[in-house]
Chain A
Amino acid sequence: MGQADGQEPSGQELSRGEMTGAKALWATLANHGITTVFGYPGGAIMPVYDALTFYPEVRHVLTRHEQGAAHAAEGWAKATGEIGVCLATSGPGATNLVTGLADAMMDSVPLLAITGNVARHLMGTDAFQEADITGITLPITKHNYVVRDVEELPQIIAEAIRIARAGRPGPVLVDIPKDVQLAAYAGAIPSPHARPEIPAPSDESIERALELLRSAKKPVIMAGGGSLDAAAEITALARAWDIPVITTLMGLGAFPASDPLWLGMPGMHGSVAANRAISEADVLMGIGLRFDDRVTGRVGGFAPNASIIHIELDAAEIGKIIRTHVPVRGDAKVAAVKLTEGALKGVWPDWTAQLQEWKDRNETPDHWGAGYAVKAVVDRLTPDDILSSDVGQHQMLAAQLARFEKPRRWLNSGGLGTMGFGFPAAIGAGMAEPGVRSVVIAGDGGFQMTAQELATLKMYDIRNVKICIINNSFLGMVRQWQEMFHGKRYSEVWLGDSNPDFLKLADAYDVPGYRASSAEELPGAIDAWLADPKSALLEVVVPHEHGVFPMVPAGAALYEMIESDPRRAAELKAQLADAPMNEAPTSTAAEVNDA
């Protein structure tokens, strides 16, 4: 903060032992079991940073950008299920949190954001570094506060934590004017609120759901991000009834991928089996999801033959997008247990055979390209490893190809689709679980949005974050759409001429780097990258024009999906024509032309 404002109170007059709003903030956070916060200091939050020095029980992680702090706190929350906390100063610091808050809102992540603000008498005067952050974040937080009285500060923090975690979780922002941080506080430090009970679904709704399931011939379960904490119960439910399970992008891990009942992910880049199953099902039971448009495709063509059971905590989601025949409002865990009790082992051989046929249509990437590289990486993961992704083609490939056995091992920006999310989220998750490998798959575009967090790795000597950049020199997903729907006019998506040398960039931050540019180099590079005792970066240079398939074009119904890559099909056809008879075609798909 530049100028010294004569009216501004100075913190130095307070004695060390005196309790202030800022100290009460830390004491309250510590009382709530908050061990780590991610943040970035600035003028209007200085009293809080000053008070931090008296509270060694809370670790502050200095990121290099407030957006990094917000995503790291999200990564922490998504991996652990506990609340993530981030901190920023007023004005630009606070506005830099906005993307993370919107992301947390869309994906129901419990997040507490604390921002400083100018002193109360300056608020509303366009003071230096002032922004109306509560006004700005109104639509992207579950709730927000301006603390206008130091006596209320600790209670508001306690209440904010309760709101962030209660029911459907979400972000809460608390804005604290600088003079409130400095004001003397004489009250008590509140203890955590009891976690509010989640309502159990009504017996009547469970009975109606059971009735529908018993009459089903082609049932399917679809589990979303709200079902992660009920994964064990949902797994038992599906196995008891023999009902196949689809997990959404946010729900990956809610059902073990190794189970034969698992059909994959639905939606725009979902599996053939999942999308066909939805289109054919006569009963579709959605658990903890909100029928995102990337999942439903054209709403009119979604599950056209199915009666829908929707198990969901948030009443506002029931019937919002898709008509629901049996709404089950309440705890997914309780609902799953109750529905398991009434289970009848399913007898639907035709359905099972049909699903198997669709499952067999899954193509594994067998030729060098982004999919091949992603598969090689995710195949090396263990069930305990945390996998984060950024947003784009690599994200969809990872979601299609990774096999998650447990919940909360897959972190990505589902609802908002935030480029730059993956790397800081992996740092947050890696710090939450230092004994676990935190792998991030990023694209060359998205990584550069938060690449400065390499400094955070260095500063805290974090050793378990493994960064893999799938570098196709393009904003790949946009390029794919331009190829398919905009006559191959590649407008402003080429990054190849200006990308940095990612290994040199990593080296600048003391992060070891590895590179692979071919299928032959890849296994060795992955080995070296994973074996490195430090956090390390692997750049995989892949062909420029690789598409992600299956794909449901925007505005189409799920059953109108394009199952496989038309370009690849044409290549294979050409190879077959050239190759001598009896000889299998070799996969030598050369890099296709540059833009």
Chain B
Amino acid sequence: MTEPISYDQLLSILVRDEPRVLTRITALFGRRGYNIKSLSVGNTEHPGVSRMTIVVHGDRGVVEQAIRQLEKLHDVVKIIDHSLEKYVDRELVLVKVAITPESRVEVRQIAEDFRSRIVDVGRHALTFEVTGDEGKLTAFIEQMRPFGILETMRTGRIALTRGSNADIASHIYHGGESDTLRPALEGLEAREERARGVPNLF
């Protein structure tokens, strides 16, 4: 048998915004020993719903199995497998680069070429903010490496499908409507509202 080909795969998971959801999701990957390469979580346009972008390294079978297991979770509203459609993805990185009076100009010039912004200026270091796809960020870091990188932090990738949701094939948004989430979310807001109104008795 030939080894299945492994590559990075991008998933967006819409989940109910409740305690332990992150644990439930990551535990599913962890149980089978699949390593999550990056994970970003944030709010969405729907109150009570968060969106995760997960990058998993694995073969197609691994990811398909993971998706099916995730779909069974009560907290999961929707999963978008970005390998099936065109998407845009971005990542943000903060890079702190060591500078000397001699290298200062060159470092700034490279940063400009990458359309990055300086977010902090120190006597011996500059901190840059760069957004873009994975390749651009990696290239930026490689360009800066010879000057001495003091610290970096990457947010992990985030992604959205391209086009308006009405243009998107039905296997992603069933029926092609952008408000297809609504049925799954019924009652969610009311419950949140109620929870806010109840005083803590103890």
Q: Which residues of A approach B to under 8 Å, CB–CB?
A: 7, 9, 119-121, 134-135, 138-139, 142-143, 146, 148-152, 163, 168, 179, 183, 314-316, 319-320
Contact = CB atoms under 8 A, between A and B. Distances in A.
Contact of A179 (B61, B71, B201): B201
Contact of B23 (A7, A138, A143, A314): A138
Interface of B: 19-20, 23-24, 27, 31, 61, 64-65, 68-69, 71-75, 191, 194-195, 198, 200-202
Nearest to B200: A120
Contacts of B198: 149-151
B191 A152 contact: yes
Contacts of A120: 200, 202
A316 B19 contact: no
B27 A316 contact: no
Contacts of A148: 195
A400 B149 CA distance: 68
A148 B194 CA distance: 12
Given A134-B20, A139-B27, A152-B195, A9 B65 contact: no
Contacts of B73: 143
B201 A183 contact: yes
B65 A121 contact: no
A419 to B, nearest CB: 24
Contacts, number: 48
B72 A316 contact: yes
Q: Which 3 A-B pairs have CB atoms at the shortest separation, nearest pair first?
A: A316-B68, A143-B74, A315-B68
A319 B62 CA distance: 11
8 contacts: A134-B20, A143-B74, A143-B75, A149-B195, A151-B198, A163-B74, A314-B72, A319-B61
Contacts of A320: 65
Nearest to A168: B72
A9 B20 contact: no
A315 B73 CA distance: 13
B74 A138 contact: no
A149 B194 CA distance: 9
Contact of A121 (B19, B71, B202): B202
A135 B20 contact: yes
Contacts of A316: 65, 68-69, 71-72
Contacts of B68: 315-316
Given A138-B24, A152-B195, A9 B71 contact: no
Nearest to B24: A138
Contacts of B23: 135, 138
Contacts of B19: 146
Given A149-B195, A152-B195, A316-B65, A138 B27 contact: yes
A148 B65 CA distance: 33
Given A139-B27, A142-B74, A315-B68, 8 more contacts: A120-B200, A134-B20, A151-B198, A152-B191, A152-B195, A168-B72, A179-B201, A319-B64
Given A315-B71, A316-B72, A139 B31 contact: yes
Contacts of A149: 194-195, 198
Contacts of A146: 19
A151 B27 contact: no
A179 B20 contact: no
B202 A9 contact: yes
Contacts of A183: 201
Contacts of B31: 139
A138 B20 CA distance: 9
Contacts of B24: 138
A119 B194 CA distance: 21
B74 A119 contact: no
Contacts of A119: 202
Contacts of B74: 142-143, 163
A178 B2 CA distance: 56
Contacts of B201: 179, 183
Which of A9, A146, A149, A168 gathers the greatest number of chain B CB atoms within 10 Å? A149
A152 B31 CA distance: 31
A261 B68 CA distance: 35
Nearest to B1: A300
A7 B68 CA distance: 46
Contacts of A139: 27, 31
